[in-house]
Structure 1
């Protein structure tokens, strides 16, 4: 097994302004170093556009960078996020599918803004003002626009209020099924982990029979140590991890100022990252000097 020890804590889930974080890839990596992390994973939604910039920053800052992505998948009406680590960013299937997802996100965001705009002073231009060029536009940017317009005090308040599905403005977007996501990530040489799979409580944790399908397709682990997983869900997820021999990861899901999550608030064991690197064939981390 490939083994390289890592200095400092390991945080395997963080977002930059390439998707819905508030910091550029460079700023994110520097923030990771300032927070005392030895390793951080850049996992922007459905995009690898920040990898190169973050890699340069990692070499300059002494932080090891694990290149990743948070792939959108969907199981019927439920959104299921899949963390993908160290895959080939040029893989044709990944490139094509993420382009389709990003286009669907854009169309969905425009429709949500149109609906909200019937009841609140909000336009598509307001949303674009909250993004950077090439960013994967999503509901967090709409939330930021609602904050800027003074309709809500914070992004979290926007999601708890106007953007909550019960308010009637919600619109789903295209995403592949989780099983297809796992297969696609593995085919691109990557390592797939289910992101925050216990946010809605133990009763909504993925059933064992469906999880087995993902495991058989190559699922590596479960992101259990995450602030949004409920305590009862964590108990159930640990039992499932033991049952299927899945790795357990922990991370912050950092978004800069976009969420209260702080870098390093949950971390992953070095031996788990060793296993991810050993199984990955699509990319190598940018190691700190």
Structure 2
């Protein structure tokens, strides 16, 4: 299917199948209302939201849904989020990595709850609930439980006080290495993109390219244009293309469609995915 230009895309969206606020079907409907032409469903460690979003998009009649995933990899003890685009959602390699990550997520939730308890914030594992069909329990669900228990007025305060990266209750991911994630994405027929790197990470682009990384998410809300330009320069020097996405999870984020990229920003990704524009 060819998309008529100009094409408005958001290549990094989450649904209730991981830690987003809306079910896949509602994300697709919201994207159509927002005037987007193509979206990527990139839930954490699951592809379960892709098919429902595509079914809803067919009903809407004018939205392309790209099959994606965001894998929670680990690199030298630090989180490393890897986006996969154009994947076969049910591919065995991805399913194996996702199953391992689901088990690790459950362990991580238990460790975070234990750390909160040591801080005097008493929460039970059964207090942490997820929407039906969710396959990727995470920190936002703990934050919601803390709100329900009355410890904080909103989820953001839970992150600020305890759950943020480096916070007193934070437990880093212990996922697969970037090399394992990249290989799984490639085996599933997709392209592998580093999600939301910082400009200081650009020094690592050549080494990651050698591992098979295809691109970096250099365009996103909150990243200064000068930083985006410098990251794009470093990426292209390392043989990587650039992508862009809002990392939208729903409320209280800005409205879907308020930020997007066009075909002029991501031509190499669209070519790799076989998406024609014109």
TM-score by length of structure 2 reads 0.88
Distance 1:197 1:142, change over 3 A: same
> CA offset at residue 247 of structure 1?
2.2
Maintained 8 Å contact 2:8/2:35: yes
How far apart, CA to CA, are the structure 1 residues paired with 2:265 and 2:229? 19
Equivalent residues of 1:5, 1:270 under 8 A apart: no
* More displaced 10-residue stretch of structure 1: 150-159 or 31-40: 150-159
Aligned positions of 1:24-39 closer than 5 A: 24-39=23-38
Name the CA shift for 1:83/1:256 in 2 (closer, same or farther; >3 Å): same
Q: What residue is the counterpart of 2:245 in the other structure?
A: 251
SS in 2 for 1:256: coil
CA 1:39 to 1:248, structure 2 compared with 1: closer, same or farther past 3 Å?
A: same
- Structure 1 contact 196–229 (Cα < 8 Å) conserved: no
Map 1:76-115; keep pairs closer than 5 Å.
76-115=76-115
- Note the alpha carbon deviations across 1:54-95, whole angstroms, 9 max, x for none: 110011112111110111111112111111011122322211
How far did residue 8 of structure 1 move?
Answer: 4.5
Cα shift readout 1:238-261 (whole Å, capped 9, x = no counterpart): 22123124322222111112x424
Which residue of structure 2 lines up, in the alignment, with residue 205 of structure 1? Answer: 201
CA distance in 2, matches of 1:233, 1:103: 36
Aligned length: 274
* Per-residue deviation, residues 184-241 of structure 1 (Å, max 9, x unmatched): 212221011111112xxx4x4242xx32132234322221221244566434312212
Tell me the TM-score normalized by structure 1: 0.85
State how far apart, in whole Å, the 2-side matches of 1:87 and 1:78 are.
25
Matches within 5 A, 1:30-179: 30-61=29-60, 62-118=62-118, 119-128=120-129, 130-179=130-179
Which residue is 1:260 aligned to?
253
What are the Cα deviations for residues 102-146 of structure 1, in whole angstroms up to 9, with x where unaligned?
110111012211221341242222211x43344310111111112
Indicate the SS of the match to 1:31: helix
Q: Structure 1: which 5+ residue stretches go unaligned?
A: none
Do the aligned partners of 1:38 and 1:64 also contact (CA within 8 Å) in 2?
A: yes
1:225 correspondence with 2:219: yes
Q: Distance in 1 between matches of 2:166 and 2:241?
A: 35
* Distance in structure 2 (CA, Å) of the matches to 1:225 and 1:272: 9
Residues 112 and 170 of structure 2 are in contact (CA less than 8 Å); yes or no, is this contact kept in structure 1? yes
User: Kindly tell me: are residues 9 and 58 of structure 1, through their superposed partners in 2, closer, same or farther at Cα, counting changes over 3 Å?
Assistant: same
**1:269 equivalent among 227, 249, 262:** 262
Q: Distance in 2 between matches of 1:278 and 1:251?
A: 17
Q: In structure 2, list runs of 5 or more residues that go unmatched.
A: none
SS in 2 for 1:205: helix
Match of 1:242 in 2: 236
Measured after TM superposition, the shift of residue 4 of structure 1 is 4.3
Q: Give the alignment's Cα RMSD to 1 decimal.
A: 2.5
Q: Distance in 1 between matches of 2:44 and 2:244?
A: 18
Bigger drift between 225-234 and 25-34 goes to 225-234
2:266 and 2:103 map into 1 onto residues whose CA distance is 32
Asked if structure 2 preserves the Cα contact closer than 8 Å seen for 1:131 and 1:137, the reply is no
Partner of 1:19: 18
SS in structure 2 of the partner of residue 37 of structure 1: coil
